[in-house]
């Protein structure tokens, strides 16, 4: 930032401008930088995703060492059913566990969904698509473009290609 500032000041000194024009340019530049920085901020928040199919909520499940490792369906309000969504500003979100925000909801091409240490890679990014006709959301995986699907009445969670009439892909 300091190099950039010195470069701009040096450039202005080299230009034949009067003080009024230089001050106006400075104020305009600072305002533009401030507005640009302000628009980069996005809201994050905690969310619970309830399956329209089972009525249960998506939950992170801890392993024997107390770290989030798996995903299944649990009664809403139980431990692990709240996720902290971090807006990445590109239409995708990281879904972090609220108990340990170092872990993110992750899926790969093998259809399995589980928890993994957050790195922000494309395998951990999700988007939310609203189906206004049904009044439900679909949770779309950024890398595969597949949707979170509730298998076996919540015993397993996976990602599958869109199946619009499949209520196992509908979320509230």
- With cut-offs at 50, 70 and 90, classify the pLDDT of residue 155: confident
Residue 14 is predicted with a pLDDT of: 46
Distance, CA of 15 to CA of 7 (rounded, Å): 12
Over residues 5-28, mean pLDDT: 41
pLDDT at 26 over 80: no
Q: Answer whether CATH 3.10.105.10 is correct for domain 45-169.
A: no
Which is more confident, 78 or 41? 78
Between the alpha carbon of residue 66 and those of residues 14, 75, 167, the distances in Å are 62, 20, 32
152: pLDDT confidence band, cut at 50, 70 and 90? Answer: confident
Cα–Cα distance for residue pair 21/29, rounded to 1 Å: 12
Q: Name the token pair of 144.
A: 């595969």
The mean pLDDT of 11-36, rounded to a whole number, is 40
2-6, 51-55, 101-105, 130-134, range with the lowest pLDDT = 2-6
Indicate the domain borders of the chain: 2-39, 45-169
Whole-model pTM? Answer: 0.73
Q: Out of 3-7, 67-71, 168-172, which region has the weakest mean confidence (pLDDT)?
A: 3-7
Asked if pLDDT for residue 29 goes beyond 90, the answer is: no
């Amino acid at each position: 930032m300091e190099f950039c500032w010195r470069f701009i000041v040096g450039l202005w000194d080299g230009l034949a401008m009067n003080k009024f024009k230089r001050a106006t340019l400075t104020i305009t530049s600072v305002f533009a930088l401030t507005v640009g920085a302000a628009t980069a901020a996005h809201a994050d928040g905690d969310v619970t995703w309830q399956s329209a199919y089972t009525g249960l909520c998506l939950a992170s499940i801890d392993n024997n060492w107390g770290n989030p490792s798996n995903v299944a369906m649990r009664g809403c309000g139980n431990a692990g059913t709240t996720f902290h969504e971090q807006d990445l500003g590109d239409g995708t979100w990281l879904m972090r566990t609220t108990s340990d925000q170092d872990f993110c909801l992750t899926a790969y091409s093998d259809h399995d969904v589980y928890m993994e240490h957050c790195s922000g890679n494309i395998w951990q990014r999700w988007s939310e698509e609203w189906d206004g006709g049904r009044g439900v959301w679909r949770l779309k995986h950024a890398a595969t473009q597949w949707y979170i699907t509730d298998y076996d009445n919540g015993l397993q969670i996976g990602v599958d290609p869109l199946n619009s009439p499949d209520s196992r892909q509908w979320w509230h």
